[in-house]
Amino acid sequence: MIILLCSSLLQGSAQEQAPLQVDRDNIRLSFSLDGEGSPRYAVLYKGHQLIAPSRQGFVLAEDSLFYKGFTITGTERKSVNETWEPVWGEERNIRNSYEQLTVHLKQQNAPGRLLDIVFRVFADGVGFRYEFPQQSGLKYFVVKDELTEFHLTGDHTVFWIPGDYDSNEYAYTTSRLSEVNNSRIVQAAADIAVRTVPDPFAVQTPLMLKTGNNIYINIHEAALINYPAMQLHVDGASHQLSARLVPDAVGNKAYLHSPCTTPWRTIIISDKATDILASRIILNLNEAPSATDFSWVRPMKFVGVWWEMQTGKSTWNYADDAARGKDDVLQPNGRHGANTANVKRYIDFAAANGIQGVLVEGWNTGWEDWFGNWKEDVFDFITPYPDFNVKEIEQYAASKGVQMIMHNETSGAATNYERQLDTAFRFMNAFGYHAVKTGYVGRIIPRGEHHDGQWMVNHYERVARKGLQYRVMIDAHEPPRPTGLQRTYPNWMASEAGRGNEYNAFSNGNAPDHETILPFTRLMGGPMDYTPGIFKLRHYAPHAPDRTVHTTLAKQLALYVTIYSPLQMVADLPENYEAHPDAFRFIREVPVDWDDTRIIAAEPGDYITIARKEKGKHNWFLGAITDENARTAAVPLSFLDKGKQYRAVIYADAPGADWKTNPEAYRIYEMVVDGNSTLTLQLAASGGAAVSFYPL
């Protein structure tokens, strides 16, 4: 629902003098053409120049100079102030309020090609995109390069991962801009299946920056549709960032047909880190959904026959050797996780604990040779292994009021998946699956394409649409990092597209500050299937006895609040929860859909405290996490309803807790609090605290 409160349109004249300016609160956006007729924009915040005049434009196959020789033929301005209600999310109402400037450009030389640049200036930042009007001089065209630059004005601190065409699953590095060089990191990242990083100075977005005078800047994009993902090349000497689009198999970037638009380029700005996390610019720059009935889209928590494979206790594959021919019978290895009895055990556990969903991986044939072969037809999405009884599981889950979640791993063969998409979704409809986790581990087929290129961007959107058609919710693993498309596709609920908790299962894991950086980077674009909730933090991987999760148990609880997802996994094994029934109560009770969110304290790389109010209820939940440093979080509870008293249940690190030496030490205590109280939480090294508040 959209309520338009105020909107005005003013027509500018062709003679309007450059620079054009838009002011909104602390932000000034200016635009001009330089002496060569090249578009330039700049951004001021509280009088500080944060983006010095920066280039805009393109190299097209049809016009290698589509960045100069322009004149301004007209401008339009409008103000928008509206609120809208997401289907699910971090709050019930989202305010969208901005000043818009559209600049109409025309090239002087024949055929006089047209380009519009649209700026939206919000109280907390700027978005702009290119629009290619319908025109005979530019109908079908090929983008060779987008020349957008972000000319920063200092050697800022930057939180970054390498600009990889195929993966967002790197650990973050914190450095100065001038120190960015990803070569050693990429080389060492053997735990990432596919790495394609030709530019040692390229980084991914969302890119989080902090200036020397404590201004926070976040650069990303919104509404990535029919276009490749944007990465940024860092020039350490000039502090200039330049767009680098992920190429296709023949080196082109995008194939377009006017009229059309690019994604929005976003710059979120504040002198408070908490405002960066509270910004809704990226969601606001995405389109509202075209359908209206999303009653079938239901946020939920789920358990899964999954962590046991990740940690090596059981296997996805049924046999140890692949079948050699059609008639070759697979020899069971005796360790197959997705067997009917084991699945029922998870269904029982979910039902007993009010957890709505059960994911099962490794249920369909093909896992004997799925990985690393660049093979096209590894999987179909309807043939179970002999020990997985689809019908029996469907009936058992239904009898317990639990929903099964489908798993479709494509092993990167998007072509194979597309051919079978209708069959796969019909199978889900037939056997009661309302959600699917997809996966794209491995090199992409069509061969030569990349996970983050235009072809795959379109593929992921096709799958989201297929989900709309069949009423199936999507959780996409290995896609490009999200850009707010959950607004347009409310059934595309979550994505991985980052380094999840699973790296703690099969590799050296995630550093203690990882989860304090993710909300400022990966999560800026949308929900992450991070898979929190690991309780057994040591001795969980039989073949790697020294492996540990790099957090305390209380921090794993806090992640249910600090990392937002409407599909939130309860990732550990049932027996590990059964060993801690008191701590597990928080996971049982924490919701996944919210009326309100307050970012109470945050500093990228150091700490985060967030409070959220349950959708349709008066309960609040709070999560506080810290990096490798123990700290005290003093939390004013002013978000609670005035005059009401609440019972607060606090799940905290116990004295002596420490992620390295004593991670599973927690204590649970209760207090009566109100809006005037301040909670003092002691967070251990890589620790955290989770709190639930119930009105008395």
Which spans of this chain sit near Ca ion (rule: CB under 5 A)? 513, 605-606, 627
Residue ranges in 56-115 that form contacts with ligand NOJ under rule CB under 6 A: none
* C-alpha to C-alpha distance for 482 and 176, rounded to whole angstroms: 25
Q: Which residue from 125, 357, 439, 526 is in contact with ligand NOJ, where contact means CB under 6 A?
A: 439
Q: Is 24:123 a contact under the CB 8 Å cutoff?
A: yes
**One symbol per residue from 598 to 637: x for binding ligand NOJ (CB under 6 A), - otherwise; what is it?**
----------------------------------------
Q: Which does 502 bind (CB under 5 to 8 A by kind): ligand NOJ, Ca ion, none?
A: ligand NOJ
Closest approach of ligand NOJ to the CB of residue 383, in Å: 17
Token pair for 474? 């999507």
CB 639 within 8 Å of CB 663: no
| 124 interacts with, out of ligand NOJ, Ca ion, none, CB within 5 to 8 A per kind | none
Angle formed at CA 81 by CA 78 and CA 86, multiple of 5 degrees: 125
Q: Rounded to the nearest whole angstrom, what is the least distance from the CB of residue 435 to ligand NOJ in the complex?
A: 14
162 vs 604 by CB, closer to Ca ion: 604
Q: How far is the CB of 529 from ligand NOJ (least distance, A)?
A: 8
CB of 605 to Ca ion, least distance (A): 4
Q: How far apart (Å, rounded) are the C-alpha atoms in residues 450 and 466?
A: 22
Determine which residue in the list 434, 477, 536, 550 makes contact with ligand NOJ, applying CB under 6 A: 477
Q: Which of residues 354-383 bind ligand NOJ (CB under 6 A)?
A: 361
502 or 595, CB closer to ligand NOJ?
A: 502
Separation of alpha carbons 396 and 341, rounded Å: 11
**What residue 593 binds from ligand NOJ, Ca ion, none (CB within 5 to 8 A, per partner kind)?**
none
State the number of CA atoms in the 13 A half-sphere of 309 facing the CB: 18
409 binds ligand NOJ per the rule CB under 6 A? yes
**Which helix (H) or strand (E) segment is 434 a member of?**
strand 433-439
CA angle 680, 681, 687 (to 5 degrees): 165
605 binds, among Ca ion, ligand NOJ, none (CB under 5 to 8 A by kind): Ca ion
Annotated active-site residue in 502, 575, 614, 628: 502
Residue list 499-538, contact with ligand NOJ (CB under 6 A)? 502
Closest to ligand NOJ by CB, 282 vs 309, is 309
Cβ proximity to Ca ion: between 57 and 604 the closer is: 604
Residue 409 near which of Ca ion, ligand NOJ, none (CB within 5-8 Å, type-dependent): ligand NOJ
- The burial class, CB within 10 Å (0-12 / 13-18 / 19+), for 417 is buried
- Min. distance of Cβ 173 from Ca ion in angstroms? 12
Nearer to ligand NOJ, 412 or 623 (CB): 412
Helix 553-562 × helix 581-589 angle, to 10°: 0
181 three-class SS: coil
List the one residue from 59, 94, 441, 511 that touches ligand NOJ (CB under 6 A). 441
Contacted entry of Ca ion, ligand NOJ, none for residue 477, CB cut-off 5 to 8 Å set by kind: ligand NOJ
Q: Which residue, 478 or 627, is less far from Ca ion as judged by CB?
A: 627
Instruction: For ligand NOJ, give the closer residue by CB, 385 or 693.
Output: 385
Strand order across the 202-203 sheet: 20-24, 27-33, 39-45, 48-55, 149-152, 240-245, 230-235, 202-203
Residue 572 contacts ligand NOJ per CB under 6 A: no
Q: Which residues contact 206 (CB under 8 A, 6 or more apart)?
A: 218, 219, 220, 481, 520, 521, 522, 524, 525
Burial class (CB in 10 A: 0-12, 13-18, 19+), 672: exposed
User: By C-beta, is 124 or 308 nearer to ligand NOJ?
Assistant: 308
Q: For strand 473-476 and strand 433-439, is the pairing parallel, antiparallel, or unpaired? A: parallel
CA dihedral 303, 304, 309, 315 (to 10 degrees): 150
Residues in the chain, overall count? 696
DSSP secondary structure string for all residues of 584-615 = HHHHHH--S-EEEEEEEEEETTTEEEEEEEET
Would you say 89 or 439 has its CB closer to ligand NOJ?
A: 439
User: 11 has which bridge partners?
Assistant: 76
Q: Cα(654)–Cα(683) distance, rounded to whole angstroms?
A: 9
| Residue count, binding to ligand NOJ (CB under 6 A) | 8
Whether residue 502 lies in the annotated active site: yes
Q: Per rule CB under 6 A, is residue 146 in the interface with ligand NOJ? A: no
CB of 360 to Ca ion, least distance (A): 38
Q: Provide the minimum distance between the beta carbon of 317 and ligand NOJ in the complex, in angstroms, as a whole number.
A: 11
The entry of ligand NOJ, Ca ion, none near residue 496 (CB within 5 to 8 angstroms by kind) is ligand NOJ
Residue 441 binds which entry of ligand NOJ, Ca ion, none, with Cβ cut-offs from 5 to 8 Å by kind?
A: ligand NOJ
Which amino acid belongs to residue 115? L
Catalytic positions: 502
**What is the binding site for ligand NOJ (CB under 6 A)?**
306, 361, 409, 439, 441, 477, 496, 502
